[in-house]
């Protein structure tokens, strides 16, 4: 994308406490997106997951990747006014724990996109270490 990138909240309908992408690094609308989630340790889920050993829940890593994928879709002009919703997840693997104070680097590459559905592949890393990888399936509905 040319120029300054929008804030994630300017593209996504999600709002705290369920907005998990803090920063967009790059976006190629309809093709790919890179972003970050900076985990401060103040997030409420760390209190209960797990007391004494706070760990980012894996399902929230998948949600963060889905949200980043939604950014790539929604910035494609043909999807203006639409909303991508989960259709399914395949092949999800969690490779590393993510803890407070770490930054989760997110990357989603879109596969097939039609007017009603699509696929994407997401990877979440901390530094060079893979934390999560997943194939995302989604449906596109009116917003």
Q: Which domain holds residue 117?
A: 8-142
Q: Is 38 among the residues known to form the active site?
A: no
Q: Give the CATH number of the domain where residue 72 resides.
A: 3.10.129.10
Does the global pTM surpass 0.85?
A: yes
* Residue 54 maps to a domain: yes
* Residue 86 maps to a domain: yes
DSSP state of 68: H
* Residue 105 maps to a domain: yes
Q: What percent of the chain has pLDDT over 90?
A: 97
Could you say which of 14, 38, 49, 121 is catalytic?
49
> Which is nearest to 21 in space by CA: 80, 104, 91?
104
Tell me, what's the pLDDT at 136?
Answer: 98
φ, ψ at 88 (rounded to 5°): 165, 170
């Amino acid at each position: 994308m040319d120029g300054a990138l929008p804030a994630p909240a300017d593209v996504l309908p999600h709002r705290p406490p369920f907005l998990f992408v803090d920063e967009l690094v790059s976006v190629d609308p309809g093709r790919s997106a890179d972003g970050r989630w900076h985990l401060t340790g103040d997030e409420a889920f760390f209190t209960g997951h797990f007391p004494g050993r706070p760990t980012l829940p894996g399902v929230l890593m998948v949600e963060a990747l889905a949200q980043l994928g939604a950014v790539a879709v929604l910035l494609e002009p043909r999807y203006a006014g639409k909303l991508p919703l989960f259709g399914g997840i395949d092949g999800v693997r969690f490779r590393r724990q993510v803890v407070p104070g770490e930054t989760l680097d997110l990357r989603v590459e879109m596969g097939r996109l039609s007017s009603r559905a699509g696929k994407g592949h997401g990877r979440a890393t901390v530094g060079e270490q893979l934390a999560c990888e997943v194939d995302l399936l989604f449906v596109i509905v009116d917003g």
